[in-house]
Amino acid sequence: MQNIVLLETVYKIYTMGEVDVTALNGISLTIKKGEFVAVMGASGSGKSTLMNILGCLDSPTRGKYYLEGIEASQLSKNELANIRNKKIGFVFQSFNLLSRTTVLENIELPLIYNKRISKIDTDRVHQIMKILGLEEFQKHYTNQLSGGQQQRVAIARAIINNPTLLLADEPTGNLDSVTSMEVMNVFCDLNNKMGITIVLVTHENDIAKYARRFIVLKDGKVLSDTPSQSTASDISQIPCETIS
């Protein structure tokens, strides 16, 4: 199976005044096409830094990062921006939607900035809205929607360019438990039915249970890396449901 992500002895060191702070301390790992991976760890463990590296928002201090065979760690800022637009989808805790534009306009936004596309594929836009249960809300402004609906819009926007990798950073952090479950079932459907490779950062065991693989970080290192079938007793697999 094809490697989507390959990290080779990646370090990320920040200089704060006269002190060097090591956020990632020699991490090596691979993520294959179609995997659903949860990254966990205490505050300061390095999970946010790892997400920034994977999302080409930052570059390693040392080591190499390959995204679908491309050594992203050596790219310029413009090249990284191009990679982010074409190959990576982002879903954040805070949704990051444009409140004075419609659901449809929010979802179409990445297509407008994609220079490979000369015309918006309206069929794909409506297909994605249908998959995520958003068709009836397409003309609504996003600030008229519930939190769960807004996160679905954010997910739709993240996958509209058919990204190689979908990164979700605490995507249920602003949602109640019932809505969180609904959103996680959306991620499961995207992974199971569409084969989208997902890396999810979370501090919640109940959310991590939806993934198929668990990576736990501590002090910038990989403390454990286990598939769902052999996880610790406090993390057991929950069957993913499909979107109703």
Of 24, 4, 41, the residue nearest 202 (C-alpha): 41
What is the model's pLDDT at position 232?
36
Residue 183 belongs to domain with CATH number = 3.40.50.300
Specify whether the CB–CB gap between 97 and 153 falls below 8 A.
yes
Query: Is there a domain that residue 153 lies in?
Result: no
Of 96, 94, 242, 93, the residue nearest 181 (C-alpha): 242
Query: Is there a domain that residue 121 lies in?
Result: no
Angle, vertex CA 128, rays to CA 56 and CA 50, nearest 5: 20
Of 163, 190, 187, the residue nearest 84 (C-alpha): 163
Q: Which domain holds residue 81?
A: 3-93+163-230
Tokens of 219: 């002090």
Query: Is there a domain that residue 67 lies in?
Result: yes
Query: Is there a domain that residue 238 lies in?
Result: no
For residue 222, the SS3 value is strand
Give the other-Cβ count within 10 Å of 75's Cβ. 17
Total domains, the chain: 1
What is the model's pLDDT at position 73?
83
Specify whether the CB–CB gap between 3 and 66 falls below 8 A.
yes
Query: Is there a domain that residue 217 lies in?
Result: yes
List pLDDT tens digits, range 21-61. Answer: 999 999 999 999 999 999 999 989 999 999 999 999 999 99
Give the other-Cβ count within 10 Å of 18's Cβ. 5
Query: Is there a domain that residue 170 lies in?
Result: yes
Query: Is there a domain that residue 49 lies in?
Result: yes
What is the model's pLDDT at position 231?
39
What is the model's pLDDT at position 237?
41
Q: What are the backbone angles phi and psi of residue 21, rounded to the nearest 5°?
A: -115, 120
Q: Whole-angstrom Cα distance, residue 45 to residue 221?
A: 8
What is the model's pLDDT at position 111?
83
Q: Which residues of the chain have pLDDT under 70?
A: 114-119, 229-244
List pLDDT tens digits, range 107-117. Answer: 998 887 765 55
Q: Whole-angstrom Cα distance, residue 217 to residue 214?
A: 10
Query: Is there a domain that residue 225 lies in?
Result: yes
Residues 6+ apart with CB under 8 A from 159: 89, 128, 166, 190, 194, 196
What is the model's pLDDT at position 210?
95
What is the model's pLDDT at position 234?
39
